[in-house]
Amino acid sequence: MWMCADENGGLRDGDRDHLVAMKICKSARSVSEQAMDEIKLLEAINKEGSADADKETNCAKLLNHFWHSGPNGKHKCLIFGVLGENLLALVKHTDYKGLPIGWVKKIAIDTLRGLAHMHSRDVIHTDIKLENVLINRHDLKEVKVEAE
């Protein structure tokens, strides 16, 4: 994943320099097919027009996707809202000594809400692990200032 600035304001009305996360997939056919499957699942999870479309779903938000052709082939690029580190990085940061119980409760509740939302859209997450649980950044404004 790469943190990028949407310099054209194409993802949000007039919000130039909006930070986004970009996932660039390898050009191999099998990886491109996986990316297309991922897009279908993310679109199902974040489907507009539902009663909970504006509600926090605790799921990654796919904002856009496009193809990029380069010297190493055609790559599918997925654009997401910026989140933070994954849970494994947080556990490593504490030298595997554990997290405060309040954090554990919050992370568990938010993760279960995300899984419940996926289930409500008939999507089953089959790879739940520390690397796949992302933590929201509390310092996004500071990150944007540093990026300028």
- Averaged confidence pLDDT in the chain: 84
Predicted TM-score of the model (pTM): 0.76
Q: pLDDT tens digit string along 37-86?
A: 999 999 989 886 555 555 688 898 898 999 999 898 899 999 988 888 89
Token pair 């994954």 in the structure block, residue: 86
Catalytic residue among 17, 37, 127, 139: 127
pLDDT of residue 135: 87
CATH number of 2-147: 1.10.510.10
Q: Nearest 10 degrees: CA dihedral of 117, 120, 125, 129?
A: 30
Asked about 122 being catalytic, the answer comes back as no
pLDDT of residue 46: 85
User: What distance lies between CA 16 and its chain's CA centroid?
Assistant: 20
Task: Give the domain ranges of the chain.
Answer: 2-147
